[in-house]
Amino acid sequence: MANTGLLKLEGDSRIAAASKRLDLSRREFLQFCTTVAASLGLPQGADAAVAEAIADKKRPSVIWLQFQECTGCTESMLRSEHPTLEKLILDVISLDYHETLFAAAGHQAEQARRTAMAENKNSYLLVIEGAIPTRDGGIYCKVGGQTAVELTQACAADAAAVIAIGSCASWGGMPSTDPNPTGSSGVATVLGKPVVTIPGCPPNPYNFLSAVVHFLAFGSLPAVDDLGRPKFAYSRLIHENCERRAHFDAGRFAIEFGDEGHRKGYCLYKLGCKGPETYANCPTILFGDAGAGTWPVGCGCPCIGCTEQGVGFSKPIHMLAKVKNVEPPQQYPRIVEEKGTGATLGSAAVLAAVAGAAAGGAAMVARNLGLSHKAEEAAKAQAASEKMEV
């Protein structure tokens, strides 16, 4: 049934059951599947495969570890709306271990993790939030008597796939900034192999959800770039889709926070916006389902480049970004160019007089140049004649 059109699935009993489980109408459920497929950049017909996967397949077990982090990634997940968090963790995936969301604690929580790993060997998803300290044997972060390094390696050994969520897990994020006393590192560095990274501080929950649904539907995680970021979310510069881009192209910039340009929504490039060198889908997917403008630049705050290694938490916040796809000219016209009133008769007469004087002066210069040239030639001839006479 994988090639069946999405509309033909609307009356399928399995779709009806899945819709009921998610507390959605069948139409809303199919719309959700279409949105996920479109977000992933999947070809036509993939929405039906997504719908079937959610309706048919066993929910994937997810083990979620947390290390050096602020819980911002989890907080971002708590604010997802389509679906809401409880539907996500109870009906789309099976979140079998998460320290923050667990009712259990201590030995009970650790036993739940070991049980989930054993029962879903080679089929569970491992999600890691937070950087991993590696200095001094990793003693700066321990859970259940194991260091973060030991836990990561043990849980990754039998995982079907590993996802590093947030900038800290992706490459070290804020904990890894100089002088980095704990040797904070990203998941890929600790494991010594590439992993799927979903950077952001915090990342958008729908980027994570879409990656998980892709795994559920196709048995693999989505295509990634050379940094492990899913291409459907991190293949375009923020600058390309920014709602303030037209102001950048026209040379209209906010110079100070609260000035006239800032209040009018002008480009934030000169306030240090890192959008021109940061890859992410923030301006198109937004945050929090609160309507238009719900992302940092839309709210008047320059992008800090949190999804880009070497930019976020590395460059000073107000340092100018390196524009990757177009270099702005050094000089721009003023935002409001002054208009002339036209020439008066008096000014025209003065201009004509000046022009006439200039023309006359030029003629005299040319004449004098000509005379001096003739005099020079005569002097040369006289000198030659005198030489011959001698």
141 annotated ligand binder: no
155 annotated ligand binder: no
73 annotated ligand binder: yes
70 annotated ligand binder: yes
CA distance 377 to 371: 10
Residues 6+ away with beta carbon under 8 Å from 52: 1, 2, 9, 14, 217
CA distance 74 to 57: 25
301 annotated ligand binder: no
- Written as six digits, the tokens of 15 are 């779709």
Binding residues for [3Fe-4S] cluster: 282, 303, 306
What are the binding residues for [4Fe-4S] cluster?
70, 73, 168, 201, 239, 242, 267, 273
Q: Which positions make up the binding site?
A: 70, 73, 168, 201, 239, 242, 267, 273, 282, 303, 306
